[in-house]
């Protein structure tokens, strides 16, 4: 009778597939994790250059989905902010850029406000809500439409929009969160932002 240990030793490592996992860290660094045969070998982690792949077709599809939280308040990614057709179709007049290191492509066509916010749990996101809300109000008062964006339109920009609804409309965190999620289902404030907004008292 085989012992379990013998059975495990006799298991052919060749039957195990190599694993290759893409990881994007909160700071936007793209990493590639490779596990060698059998999962026993050392794990290699290498930093990917933008656009490199792991034998897969690179996903070049742009995220041009724009969530309308209010008629004057839109939420999206940098792809939407860099696509003139999308901006014109949504009648955008103002752009609130809360990404780190993302350029504003059309300064002669839109009014921009840029705050370089890092998507890290310990960034004090609530300290930016007041200034961002003033810019959103400015767009509204000028009968404009403001697009709030970061890199992916998932954490920083959604947190700012949630904070705006809490500050200006007196919504609870749960109401503000669910309204923003309804407009743009992919939102996911990082755990630190989520907790800060939960306890945010405008």
* Residue 186 belongs to a domain: yes
Quick: pLDDT tens for 142-162: 999 999 999 999 999 999 999
Q: Same domain, yes or no, for 148 and 78? A: yes
For position 63, what pLDDT does the model report? 86
- Please say which residue of 43, 60, 77 terminates a domain: 60
Q: Same domain, yes or no, for 111 and 152? A: yes
Q: Same domain, yes or no, for 119 and 193? A: yes
Catalytic residue among 20, 54, 132, 150: 150
Q: Same domain, yes or no, for 32 and 114? A: no
Q: Same domain, yes or no, for 75 and 56? A: no
* Residue 192 belongs to a domain: yes
Q: Same domain, yes or no, for 107 and 167? A: yes
Q: Same domain, yes or no, for 29 and 74? A: no
pTM over 0.85, yes/no: no
- CATH number of the domain at 93, please: 3.90.190.10
**Average pLDDT score over the chain:** 83
* Residue 6 belongs to a domain: no
Q: Is 156 or 3 the better-scoring residue by pLDDT?
A: 156
Quick: pLDDT tens for 40-96: 444 444 444 444 444 445 556 788 999 999 999 999 999 999 999 999 999 999 999
Q: Same domain, yes or no, for 165 and 190? A: yes
* Res 172 pLDDT > 70: yes
For position 32, what pLDDT does the model report? 55
* Residue 53 belongs to a domain: yes
* Gap between the Cα atoms of 69 and 169, Å rounded: 13
Number of domains in the chain: 2
For position 23, what pLDDT does the model report? 55
Q: Same domain, yes or no, for 113 and 35? A: no
Q: Same domain, yes or no, for 135 and 171? A: yes
Q: Same domain, yes or no, for 33 and 86? A: no
For position 51, what pLDDT does the model report? 44
Can you give the residue range of the structural domain that contains 19?
Answer: 12-60
Is 150 annotated in the active site?
Answer: yes
Q: Is 2 or 157 the better-scoring residue by pLDDT?
A: 157
Q: Same domain, yes or no, for 33 and 75? A: no
* Gap between the Cα atoms of 40 and 24, Å rounded: 24
């Amino acid at each position: 009778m085989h012992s379990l240990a013998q059975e495990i030793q006799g298991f052919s490592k060749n039957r195990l597939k190599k694993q290759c996992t893409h990881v994007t860290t909160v700071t936007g660094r793209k990493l590639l994790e490779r596990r060698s045969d059998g999962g026993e070998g050392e794990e290699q982690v290498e930093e990917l250059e933008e656009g490199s792949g792991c034998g897969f077709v690179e996903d070049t599809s742009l995220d041009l989905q724009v969530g309308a939280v209010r008629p004057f308040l839109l939420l999206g990614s940098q792809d939407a902010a860099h696509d003139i057709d999308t901006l014109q179709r949504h009648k955008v007049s103002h752009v609130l850029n809360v990404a780190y290191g993302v350029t504003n492509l059309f300064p002669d066509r839109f009014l921009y406000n840029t705050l370089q916010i890092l998507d890290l749990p310990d960034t004090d996101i609530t300290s930016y809500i007041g200034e961002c809300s003033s810019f959103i109000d400015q767009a509204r008062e000028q009968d404009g439409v403001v697009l709030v964006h970061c890199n992916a339109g998932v954490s920083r920009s959604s947190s700012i929009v949630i904070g705006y609804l809490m500050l200006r409309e007196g919504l609870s965190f749960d109401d503000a969160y669910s309204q923003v999620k309804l407009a743009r289902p992919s939102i996911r404030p990082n755990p630190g932002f989520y907790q800060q907004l939960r306890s945010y008292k405008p």
